[in-house]
Amino acid sequence: MKTVDITYRYETQDTPAIPRPSDSGAALLRLNNGNHAFATLLKSLSHESGGVQQIISVDSRDLGLLPGGEVVREQRPFAAILGCSDARVPVELIFNEGPNDLFVIRVAGNGLGTEVLGSLKYAVDHLRGSLKLIVVLGHSGCGAITAAADVFLNPAGYLPLATTHSLRNILDGLLVVIQASARKIQGAFGSDISRHPGYRQALIEASIITNAALAAYSIQQEFGTSDPTKLQAVYGVYLLETRQVWTPRVSELNGIGLAAAPRDAAGFVELGDAIIRSDRIASLVQTKK
């Protein structure tokens, strides 16, 4: 039977700690490389016999394992990640990271509520020394966005939610993204596309990437800088099917890896075009009815 071992190896004090990324570009590269290694490791299971192994080196001091006493090390994540609560998207695991590397916030639909913004503000204000990157990570098949898309497509389904304020807060915040994605798809493929059997799925998947991009844009406006070497916001969608992070770009429609947040309205138009033209979305609505 094929097996995969992912080992967190707690190095001794003599082993030098893995260097922290010195700027946002280095932090982005480290996360993209980490996800690539994770996805490649698991993909290799499908065409290799025996077992595969990956070792993630952890500085034991990050767990308070210091010689001569239980002194707790300071918090020093190089990236803050806003992800969905979905249990299939374990953030540290999919980026090949260990303790004290990532400041993680997870909430259904990875939206920017008050508590999320407050947590990010804490990280930006107090962890400036190590923090280089803020990531918004959506994922394919997101239940929160699927629910919002279904409410949009069938408003009568909204009624059962009318008195459930906690759920309404999440869904209401997503509806603007669903609406924009629907307009984009209909603009590209014609209004009849809404009767296509693949339309609902295309709307959900296009909304997932747009939602992550919009959150990253908002974070960049709120906390980021115009200097690309300083704190930057990036985004992407974790694909449950391949375990890779996907971010369509005009220059690279099937782009793998996290990408910088759109800079302005023109950046969102460009992203919308890239989403529509990507194989992932186009294949859903270009098959025969």
Give the range of 39-47, 79-87, 171-179, 192-200 binding Zn ion by CB under 5 A.
79-87
> Of 25 and 173, which has the nearer Cβ to Zn ion?
173
In this structure, how many other beta carbons lie within 10 angstroms of the beta carbon of residue 161?
16
Binder to Zn ion among 91, 137, 142, 261 (CB under 5 A)?
Answer: 142
Per-residue interface string for the shown chain with Zn ion, residues 213-252, x marking contact by CB under 5 A: ----------------------------------------
3-state DSSP assignment of residue 143: helix
Closest approach, Cβ 100 to Zn ion, in A, equals 25
3-state DSSP assignment of residue 211: helix
> Of 239 and 282, which has the nearer Cβ to Zn ion?
239
With binding defined as CB under 5 A, does residue 86 bind Zn ion? yes
- Radius of gyration of the CA atoms of the chain, in A: 20
Q: CA 66, CA 63: separation in Å to the nearest integer? A: 8
> Of 142 and 206, which has the nearer Cβ to Zn ion?
142
> Of 86 and 101, which has the nearer Cβ to Zn ion?
86
| Look-up of token digits 């006493």 | 69
Residue 5 DSSP class: E
Binder to Zn ion among 28, 81, 82, 84 (CB under 5 A)?
Answer: 84
Residues in contact with Zn ion, counted by CB under 5 A, come to a total of: 3
With binding defined as CB under 5 A, does residue 62 bind Zn ion? no
Return the amino acid letter for 175: L
Q: CA angle, 45 as apex, 42 and 51 as ends, to 5°?
A: 105
With binding defined as CB under 5 A, does residue 91 bind Zn ion? no
Q: CA 230, CA 24: separation in Å to the nearest integer? A: 6
